[in-house]
Amino acid sequence: MQTQDLRDAVLRHLTYSLGKDPAHAQTNDWRLALSFAVRERIVDPWFASTRATYGGKHKRVYYLSMEFLIGRLLEDAVVNLGLMDAADEVMSGFGQNLHNVLSDEPDAALGNGGLGRLAACFLESLSTIGCPAYGYGIRYEHGLFKQSFRDGRQMESPEDWLLRRNAWGFPRPEASFRIGFNGRVAERDGKPVWEPSEAVLASAHDTPIIGWQGRWANTLRLWEAKPVDIFDLDRFNRGEFAAAAEAEASARTISRVLYPDDTTYQGKRLRLQQEYFFTAASLRDIVRRFDSEYDDPAWLPQKVAIQLNDTHPAIAGPELVRILHDEKGMEIDRAIETARATLNYTNHTLLPEALEKWSEELMSDLLPRHMTLIQRIDEHHAQEKPNRKVRLIENGDVKMGELSFVMANRVNGVSALHTELMKQTVFEDLHAQYPDKIVNQTNGVTPRRWLLSANPRLSNLIAGEIGMDWVDDLEQLARLEPLAEDSAFRKAYRDAKRANKAELSQWFRDTHDVALDPDAMFDVQIKRIHEYKRQHLNILEAIALWQEIRDNPNGDWTPRVKIFGGKAAPGYVFAKEIIYLINSVAKVLNADPVTSKFLKVVYPPNYNVTLAEKLIPAAELSQQISTAGKEASGTGNMKFALNGALTIGTLDGANVEIRELVGADNFFLFGMTASEVVERRKVHEHAAKAIAADPRLARALDEIRAGTFSDGDGERFRSITDNVSGHDYFLVSSDFTDFWRASREVDRAYRDSTSWTRMAVLNTARSGWFSSDRTIRGYMGDIWGASAVPA
């Protein structure tokens, strides 16, 4: 019945929504027809969710995020609606392969990495739990750039997910707001009124996000920037064609591209415009919805919880005060208190260069009223805490982390370690003033995408043992624990991993013309390229291992394939050098007839959500090797552990909690702790000393300097060798020796496949806590005071 209905709907949409004759339909048409047919089944639960929220006057959660790294949506929807088998049958009936149809969807990359992917996992969990919520962000015309390699170097080209028709976004031109910039603050009836001199329209596009089993759907509302006046007809008629379209082009620039850097800001003015644009549109929408139900703005904190994902929407503080005070006439201190009771802030990084600051000059120019309100908020803070040490404006800069902190009801870190370090470092003084404000919410990942759909072999195996309750109650995986001792189960578990590896090897053969041995250990490091993540430590270890295999080619080596993936911000020169080095090393190692059967290095370009879904189920070793104290949480680490990859890692971010939960025996720990890192940095010439003490490291660096990986050009990777042997802020040299030790321990452990599989099973069985459902329940209880709407 379900299959027949779906079949009819696909055919109807192909014919009447797309205007395609089935005889001539292409994969893209079938994919869109299936998407529309599936979307149809989302709309009713979506409306029902909205009605239930209004009907019950429930508190709503608003998640403001500059990034949503959502990836493909069709498979997610099909899986959550329980339509996988039906869709498979229907597509086969039309002579199509469901897998090919699903793979045709562009990967929506409206984010850089972990922060954006977290937002996407949260949306799915909020719907699964049935918590009334909206995600708010920007509908970038071009998401994160596409990465390719030319002679080993990163090349960037624009991403174009909207070139083909987007099946999921409902345009809502009726929901648009005029967003002003610049101008001046005038006084009317003794009250300040901002009179912007420029404006753009923020126009909404809604994507329904359906939860597990289709019980609830929330909305992701993304804003598109449009001109207020479409077009200058007078100029056009005078023949000034380009000039006639100028205003339009300049307005559209605001939602044109995602900034490809999640740790520093650039294109300052446009970036601040983007931040204000989506924050202001979202707040207006939130207040409009609130006003439609309640008369008194003082009620706002009871009915609305707003989460700021990092400081990118930090302007929400002054903007909400402006709405409450300037527009609604609430007394200023009450407006500040009301806004503050409504807003919460998630901190994602302790890297000082990544804490946003805006020059007072730029802020006063672009948002003059907000600048005075920030000063007023600063005074309010000073009155409240007369012995305060922190000012919101310092050396001519507005400090957005501090502003967010002061304007938040709760501030959270994203792993236990990160939250503690936040209290001791970036927000030490503010924490002393507001000791109850900081709370922890360790990140999580959605098991629907990262286990159920990404890894069907393992999911089926699990379902055969414990049923399906784990899908929205991931700690049920603990019931697998006794099976770690069951040899038949271990064999089935190993077979599932082996089949995933074989499938991945086939993909590498087909798409990258490289042969991988599916019996070798698959060792994976996929994440943004950044010095603190230390991909260069990993490649140095590969070089040293290669040298040792060459010394002793008849040795008893454990075959390994090292898989790298990740993009570098286009302006981050050092990160791009790391990419170039990895690719250059790969070329030499893979061509070595003696060693390549033991060690290969591959680096598929354009790492994104879709590629992560391919690689993680086939991974056996998860590289989580950041300099301790630098990775706020990580979520890649959780996806790997859940899929049965063992971690080699430092005590950083959520690695700490992963190790505690899976057990120290099932985790390969190495490296300095966060406090040892701080101490080590004080040691004079720490890198030189580490190199002098480890001939392997010295020899690996010499090999790079000798030009082995650069056609004899000893200078090519100077920036890397100089850094690692000189300043070495991220302590690659100091951690190398212990990394090598742990890596050889991994090799030994891998040779005992029984015990390796036992450890892998225990990683899966004990990773249930890392579900983003658990994280969201934590936010609901500790931060938002929100509840799920009963079914």
Ligand X SMILES: *Cc1c(COP(=O)(O)O)cnc(C)c1O
Catalytic residues: 348, 527-528, 533, 635, 639
**Contact between 41 and ligand X per CB under 6 A:** no
The 8-class DSSP code of residue 212 comes to: G
CB of 612 to ligand X, least distance (A): 4
CA dist 605 → 116, 152, 508, 565, 647 (Å):
20, 10, 12, 7, 23
**Contact between 135 and ligand X per CB under 6 A:** no
**Of residues 380-409, those binding ligand X (CB under 6 A):** none
CB of 404 to ligand X, least distance (A): 22
**Of residues 672-711, those binding ligand X (CB under 6 A):** none
In the chain, what is the straight-line distance between the N-terminal and C-terminal CA atoms, in Å?
25
- Tell me whether residue 143 or residue 636 sits nearer to ligand X (CB atom): 636
Classify the C-alpha dihedral 236-240-241-242 as positive or negative: negative
- Tell me whether residue 223 or residue 607 sits nearer to ligand X (CB atom): 607
CB of 660 to ligand X, least distance (A): 18
Report the relative pairing of strands 191-195 and 410-413 from DSSP bridges: unpaired
Report the relative pairing of strands 198-210 and 170-181 from DSSP bridges: antiparallel
**Contact between 125 and ligand X per CB under 6 A:** no
Residues written for the chain: 791
CA dist 449 → 70, 122, 314, 639 (Å):
11, 12, 30, 10
CB of 637 to ligand X, least distance (A): 6
**Contact between 565 and ligand X per CB under 6 A:** no
By CB under 6 A, which span of 548-556, 571-579, 633-641, 715-723 interacts with ligand X? 633-641
**Contact between 578 and ligand X per CB under 6 A:** no
CB of 632 to ligand X, least distance (A): 9
**Of residues 526-555, those binding ligand X (CB under 6 A):** 527
- Tell me whether residue 31 or residue 528 sits nearer to ligand X (CB atom): 528
**Contact between 117 and ligand X per CB under 6 A:** yes
Size of the site for ligand X (CB under 6 A): 12
**Contact between 180 and ligand X per CB under 6 A:** no
**Contact between 658 and ligand X per CB under 6 A:** no
Q: Rounded to whole angstroms, how far apart are CA atoms 43 and 455?
A: 28
- Tell me whether residue 561 or residue 609 sits nearer to ligand X (CB atom): 609
**Contact between 258 and ligand X per CB under 6 A:** no
CB of 539 to ligand X, least distance (A): 17
Q: Which amino acid is at 568?
A: A
Structure tokens at 651: 């005590």
By CB under 6 A, which span of 113-121, 141-149, 374-382, 467-475 interacts with ligand X? 113-121
For residue 278, which of 259, 301, 297 has the smallest C-alpha distance?
259
Among 609, 658, 661, 776, binds ligand X (CB under 6 A): 609
> Are the C-beta atoms of residues 134 and 63 closer than 8 Å to each other?
yes
Q: Which helix (H) or strand (E) holds 761?
A: helix 753-765
For residue 307, the tally of other CB atoms under 10 A from its CB is 26
**Contact between 635 and ligand X per CB under 6 A:** yes
Task: Spell out the residues 6+ positions from residue 790 whose beta carbon is closer than 8 angstroms to its own.
Answer: 130
**Contact between 731 and ligand X per CB under 6 A:** no
By CB under 6 A, which span of 109-117, 277-285, 736-744, 767-775 interacts with ligand X? 109-117
**Contact between 208 and ligand X per CB under 6 A:** no
- Tell me whether residue 608 or residue 767 sits nearer to ligand X (CB atom): 608
By CB under 6 A, which span of 326-334, 432-440, 582-590, 631-639 interacts with ligand X? 631-639
Among 608, 721, 743, 763, binds ligand X (CB under 6 A): 608
Among 612, 648, 672, 701, binds ligand X (CB under 6 A): 612
Task: Spell out the residues 6+ positions from residue 377 whose beta carbon is closer than 8 angstroms to its own.
Answer: 317, 318, 321, 336, 392, 403, 406, 407
Among 10, 91, 113, 377, binds ligand X (CB under 6 A): 113
In DSSP terms, 717 is beta-bridged to none
**Contact between 169 and ligand X per CB under 6 A:** no
By CB under 6 A, which span of 112-120, 192-200, 387-395, 741-749 interacts with ligand X? 112-120
Instruction: Output the residue with the shortest Cβ distance to ligand X.
Output: 636
- Tell me whether residue 113 or residue 617 sits nearer to ligand X (CB atom): 113
> Are the C-beta atoms of residues 370 and 319 closer than 8 Å to each other?
yes
Residue 558 burial by Cβ neighbours in a 10 Å radius (0-12, 13-18, 19+): middle
Give the 3-state secondary structure of residue 48: helix
Q: Rounded to whole angstroms, how far apart are CA atoms 510 and 497?
A: 20
**Of residues 58-77, those binding ligand X (CB under 6 A):** 69
CA dist 755 → 243, 350, 599, 626, 749 (Å):
70, 38, 23, 27, 7
DSSP string, 416-431: HHHHHHHHHTTTHHHH
**Contact between 604 and ligand X per CB under 6 A:** no
Structure tokens at 524: 């994976």
In DSSP terms, 644 is beta-bridged to none
Among 10, 25, 60, 114, binds ligand X (CB under 6 A): 114
> Are the C-beta atoms of residues 203 and 281 closer than 8 Å to each other?
no
> Are the C-beta atoms of residues 662 and 641 closer than 8 Å to each other?
yes
Which chain residues interact with ligand X by CB under 6 A? 69, 113-114, 117, 527, 608-609, 612, 634-636, 639
